[in-house]
Structure 1
Amino acid sequence: MPIIGQIRQNDRRASGRWRQLRRAVGASTVVALAVSCAAVSGAGHLPDDRAPLDRPLAAAVEGLPLGEAQRVGAEYAAASLADYAHALERAEARRVAAAKRWGLATPPLRPPAPPPQKVELASTPGLIADAGLPPVVVRVPTDDKVVFLTIDDGWHKDPRFTRMLRELDIPYSAFLSDYVAKDDYDYFRRMHRDGAAVQNHTLHHKEMPKLSYAQQRREICDMQEVLKKEIGVTPRLFRPPYGAYNRDTLRAAATCGIEAVPLWAEEAWAEKFDWGRADRVFHPGDIILTHFRGPQEWGGTMNDMLRRTLKTATDQGFALARLEDYI
């Protein structure tokens, strides 16, 4: 159909909602939706967030009788969704091939759709909690079978690691310290463009309770400014070095715009996995800590760490999700 062919040619980009669709459903489900949409002959309503697509559609239906315009709209929706479904299928095929290439028996599980609203956090029992202070947590309260990969400091910058994350489409968060990240912020800018979240881990990686309140505030607030300048983001999350903090740390963090302090329930290494609980299994919402480290420190690579983490999560039926989608 010439009109639909023209629309397809003019529209090869999906909006934010369509890009997020692959998180919510598998490619086969999207194909089924496209087939169902193609069967519609009268509705043809477009998603409400596809403003960039209104112009070519409007041009296609301009001057047509109402019934014909509705038919073209329905065909347009089906064609656009089918194109997106095919793109998802190709992306999934690439991910399956990437899993094999990176030494995984099966591709990592896909996380479910993010919650429509972020969860309300309270400090994990036993950790400092008070009104006006950001909550300190080791896991996110959720029933979803998801865990969260977080990577600290920024010391070792291995392009093979970020390539593996990108090809497998793994969400993660980097908590950076300026004193080790500053020699190559381009590495972290590329990570951020790939979809990684970038958060605050202080300027100099000092043990916070050993510093005065004013010193702690400089460590946190100045790092906020560095990341705003270098990455273009102002972090909402802060992790104190070594997991060491006191009430002054949280007071200072609050004045810098920090909303939560995620610690961790497990720690991933290249050759082992440290469990925070006696049952040695993931619980929904667990936060995993690892570091930017190389073979000299670990006896293995960051790719080895990621491979171990993904296999452990997949074997237990967990997917890696984006921490910032939940808190």
Structure 2
Amino acid sequence: MRLVVQNDKNRSIRGSRIRGGIAVLAVAAIASGCAQGTGPKPRPAPGQQPLLAPPARALDSYATKLRATAAARAAAAKRWGLAKVPLTAPAPPAKKPRITTRKGFEVDGHAERNLPPVFTTIPTQQKIVFLTIDDGAEKDPAFLRMMTELRIPYTAFLSDYLVKEDYAYFKRMQGAGVVLNNHTLHHPYLPGLSYAGQKYEICGMQEVIEERYGKRPVLFRPPFGSYNENTLLAAKACGITHAPLWNEEVFVDRWEYREWDRDIHPGDIVLSHFRGKEHWKGTMPDMIRRFLEKVTAKGYAVARLEDYL
């Protein structure tokens, strides 16, 4: 009988300890919940915004950044004399479009030998165009500032005989996210050269870009848009995968068109050149203004060519 009483006492003591422990844990849980924002929240002072939960704070921060970016682009557009703020391109597709050679631009055995496709437009239904700029004669710091401030993507095709005057200029361009591609060493009329001569021009420029800028290009544009079978064979041997041409060309004072309708179309590649007042009736920023005024008025955004290849 005594044993039973002792066991009852022990159970009573243990029960009291457990209940006490639960009470302590409950207090700790409440304190923890308050610390993490899961408990009762204090009311904001009059005129003060309520504190947001973590997901809401993240969304609010993202929206704030978007507004700041839009305001910065609007200010840059005004600063560079644009009538409208350039449109922002949509995100590039996760699945890249299939690029094929434009009909009539093939060489013998083009598809069978898997030669780099020659094309003037990217297959897309979106209202986007791609700006490409050739050679490297003009090295205008204002152009770099303008494109960076406006956040306009473009692709450069460089020739060493012009670039070597100031490799650092194009290094700054690369640092702003521009891909530097191949436009031969000396900008010759390639079909007038032998296969070996063409390979020297293309592979030589591959080596220059890799040495100076750390990455071997995969895009090549033949000077004057002129090429033959040997051009594409040499380009492939040098590591080139695509040979984009263009559907429109923009200058300081005019546009020129490949198509009969004299207009821009979804996915068109637009050509211009690194030129200044020595060659044009204006500067590179003048050319960019003409380019952006047209594409923006037509409802087009400028996308990055490499994102679609």
- TM-score of Structure 1 vs Structure 2, range by shorter chain: 0.7 to 0.9
Q: Distance in 2 between matches of 1:133 and 1:295?
A: 38
Structure 2: distance between partners of 1:77 and 1:203: 53
* Greater mean alpha carbon deviation, residues 127-136 or residues 309-318: 127-136
Q: Does 1:114 align with 2:92?
A: yes
- Any idea what SS the aligned residue of 1:224 has? helix
1:169 Cα deviation from its structure 2 partner: 0.4
Using the TM superposition, give the Cα deviation of residue 69 of structure 1 relative to its aligned residue in structure 2, in angstroms.
10
* AA aligned opposite 1:310: L
State whether structure 2 residue 198 is matched by structure 1 residue 216: yes
2:137 is matched with: 155
> Do the aligned partners of 2:134 and 2:158 also contact (CA within 8 Å) in 1?
yes
Aligned to 2:70: 92
Which AA in structure 2 matches 1:176?
L
Number of the residue aligned with 2:81: 103
How far apart, in 1, do the equivalents of 2:243 and 2:90 lie? 24
In the alignment, which of 251, 255, 258 is matched to residue 273 of structure 1?
255
User: Partner of 2:210: helix, strand, or coil?
Assistant: helix
Cα distance in 2 for residues equivalent to 1:81 and 1:253: 48
Which residue matches 2:103?
Answer: 125
SS at match of 1:274: strand
State whether structure 2 residue 61 is matched by structure 1 residue 83: yes
Hey, what's the Cα distance between the residues in 1 that align with 2:272 and 2:82? 19
* Residues 212 and 92 of structure 1: CA distance in aligned 2, closer, same or farther (over 3 Å): same
Residue number in structure 1 paired with 2:154: 172
Check whether the contact 2:119–2:243 (CA below 8 A) recurs between aligned residues. yes
Which ranges of structure 2 fall in alignment gaps of 5 or more residues?
Answer: 1-31, 40-51
In structure 1, distance between residues paired with 2:212 and 2:239: 18
Q: Which has the larger radius of gyration?
A: 2
Partner residue, 1:263: 245
Cα deviation, residue 130, structure 1 = 2.6
Per-residue deviation at 1:282? Answer: 0.7
Letter in structure 2 aligned against 1:272:
R
Distance in 1 between the 2:215 and 2:176 partners?
Answer: 14
Matched to 2:182, the amino acid is N
Aligned letter for 2:88? R
- Match of 1:130, as an amino acid? A
Correspondence for 1:303:
285
- In the alignment, the residues of structure 2 paired with residue 117 and residue 234 of structure 1 have an alpha-carbon distance, to the nearest angstrom, of 24
Q: How far apart, in 2, do the equivalents of 1:70 and 1:245 lie?
A: 69
Query: Does the aligned pair in 1 maintain the 2:89–2:302 contact within 8 Å?
Result: yes
Aligned residues, how many? 261
SS for the counterpart of 1:147 is strand
For 1:81 and 1:293, how far apart are their aligned partners in 2? 44
- Correspondence for 1:137: 119
**Which residue is equivalent to 2:303?**
321
SS at match of 2:164: helix
Q: CA deviation at 1:78?
A: 4.1
- Aligned twin of 1:185: 167
Name structure 1 gaps, 5 residues minimum.
1-63
Return the letter of the residue paired with 2:231: T
Letter in 2 for 1:175: F
Please name the residue that 2:26 is paired with: none
Distance across 1 between alignment mates of 2:56 and 2:179: 34
Task: Give the CA deviation at 1:84.
Answer: 3.6
Looking at structure 2, the residues matched to 208 and 181 of structure 1 have their Cα atoms a distance apart, in angstroms, of: 19
Instruction: For residue 295 of structure 1, give the secondary structure of its aligned residue in structure 2.
Output: coil
CA distance in 1, matches of 2:102, 2:163: 30
Q: For residues 241 and 312 of structure 1, what CA distance do their matches in structure 2 show?
A: 26
Q: Percent identity?
A: 52
Structure 2 distance, partners of 1:88, 1:317, is: 21
Query: How far did 1:70 drift?
Result: 9.7
Superposition TM-score, scaled by structure 1 size: 0.76
C-alpha separation in 1, matches of 2:53 and 2:229:
60
Deviation at 1:87, TM superposition (A): 2.4
What's the secondary structure of 2:249's corresponding residue? strand
Partner amino acid, structure 2, of 1:157:
K
Question: In angstroms, what is the RMSD of aligned CA positions?
Answer: 1.9
TM-score after normalising by structure 2:
0.80
Superposed displacement of residue 82, structure 1 = 3.2
Deviations 1:44-82 (A, max 9, x none): xxxxxxxxxxxxxxxxxxxx89xx6999xx954543443
